[in-house]
């Protein structure tokens, strides 16, 4: 059976570049996924015009029905999955006047809860030697430093469980809505807190995989660097393709190469 890779949020930006790179380097079928079917199909056609051959499936990471439809498709058509790149993400622009509580709910809702929901559905069908790559951000390190010592200790605790992480991020949203997130020990960045969630979730998933009976499933996360995309704008120094490099690298790492690390420029860095 062919090996299969899935990249979330890959109709544009870094995700599209991850698909482009995997189409060239991954020995198997690569799924470009998008919440908007038309944008996804257009991206697939673009890559096909370059001689590449991605497959397509719709996926909105905040919609459980959409996640389950992809899971079913992967099981029915391929009997499982080998590489999952959780790339889909969202950030409010700095000048956006949406109330901070809503920004917190939306950012954490997509970046953290969306990534967690996709992982919960798809990690159980990952085959031995699978790779899971979560696209986080170094903004998570910056936001960690702005959290209270107590929260930092919880986020850094290598025995923290998913339930506690969920509780902490829900508390961030709840206190953000009341304008009290800073006095409750959270950073003043909705995007930053959502990516703290993605980074800590990666460490939790990696520890779970170490206990799993399936052999050699490696889970890591990364920061792509500041890249020219619709999210980050034209001033960013890196191209989206440069940002995709470490994600592609992690999708293809050898057995035992790295488990539960945060990468930047293909190298593990401290959280």
- Residues tagged active-site: 191
Closest distance to ligand NDP from the beta carbon of 229 (Å) = 3
Joined together, the tokens standing for residue 84 give 């999952």
Angle of helix 149-156 relative to helix 162-177, nearest 10 degrees? 150
Q: Which residues would be at the binding site for ligand NDP (CB under 6 A)?
A: 8-9, 11-15, 34-36, 39, 59-62, 87-90, 110, 114, 135, 137, 223-224, 226-227, 229-232, 236, 240
Q: Give Cβ neighbours of residue 4 (< 8 Å, ≥ 6 apart).
A: 28, 29, 31, 74, 78, 80, 81, 82, 83
Task: Render the burial of 8-43: b for 16+ CB within 10 Å, e for the rest.
Answer: bbbbbbbbbbbbbbbbeebeebbbbbbbeeeebeeb
| CB count in 10 Å sphere of residue 90 | 17
Burial class (CB in 10 A: 0-12, 13-18, 19+), 208: middle
Q: Which run of H or of E encompasses 200? A: helix 190-211
Joined together, the tokens standing for residue 139 give 């903004």
Joined together, the tokens standing for residue 205 give 């998933």
Closest distance to ligand NDP from the beta carbon of 271 (Å) = 15
Closest distance to ligand NDP from the beta carbon of 168 (Å) = 20
Phi, psi of 135 (to 5 degrees): -85, 105
CB-wise, 8 or 175, nearer to ligand NDP?
8
Closest distance to ligand NDP from the beta carbon of 62 (Å) = 4
CB-wise, 14 or 126, nearer to ligand NDP?
14
CB-wise, 200 or 240, nearer to ligand NDP?
240
CB-wise, 89 or 185, nearer to ligand NDP?
89
Joined together, the tokens standing for residue 233 give 């704008």
Closest distance to ligand NDP from the beta carbon of 104 (Å) = 15
CB-wise, 9 or 101, nearer to ligand NDP?
9
Task: Render the burial of 258-269: b for 16+ CB within 10 Å, e for the rest.
Answer: bbbbbbeeeeee
């Amino acid at each position: 059976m062919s090996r299969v890779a899935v990249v979330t949020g890959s109709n544009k930006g870094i995700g599209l570049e991850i698909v482009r790179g995997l189409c060239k380097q991954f020995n198997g079928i690569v799924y470009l996924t998008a919440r908007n079917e038309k944008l996804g199909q257009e991206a697939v056609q673009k890559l096909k015009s370059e001689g590449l051959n991605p497959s397509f499936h719709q996926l909105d990471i905040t919609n459980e029905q959409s996640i389950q439809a992809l899971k079913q498709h992967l099981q029915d058509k391929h009997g499982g999955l080998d590489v999952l790149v959780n790339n889909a993400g969202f950030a409010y622009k700095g000048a956006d006047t949406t109330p901070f509580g809503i920004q917190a709910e939306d950012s954490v809702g997509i970046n953290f809860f969306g990534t967690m929901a996709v992982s919960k559905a798809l990690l159980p069908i990952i085959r031995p030697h699978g790779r899971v790559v979560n696209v986080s951000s170094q903004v998570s390190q910056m936001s960690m430093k702005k959290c209270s010592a107590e929260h930092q200790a919880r986020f850094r605790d290598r025995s923290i469980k998913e339930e506690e992480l969920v509780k902490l991020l829900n508390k961030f949203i709840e206190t953000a809505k009341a304008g009290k997130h800073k006095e409750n020990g959270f950073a003043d960045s909705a995007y930053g807190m959502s990516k703290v969630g993605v980074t800590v979730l990666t460490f939790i998933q990696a520890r779970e995989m170490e206990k799993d009976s399936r052999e050699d499933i490696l889970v890591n996360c990364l920061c792509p660097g500041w890249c020219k995309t619709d999210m980050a704008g034209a001033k960013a120094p890196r191209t989206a393709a440069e940002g995709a490099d470490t994600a592609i690298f992690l999708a293809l790492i050898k057995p035992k190469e790295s488990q539960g690390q945060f990468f930047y420029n293909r190298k593990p860095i401290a959280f």
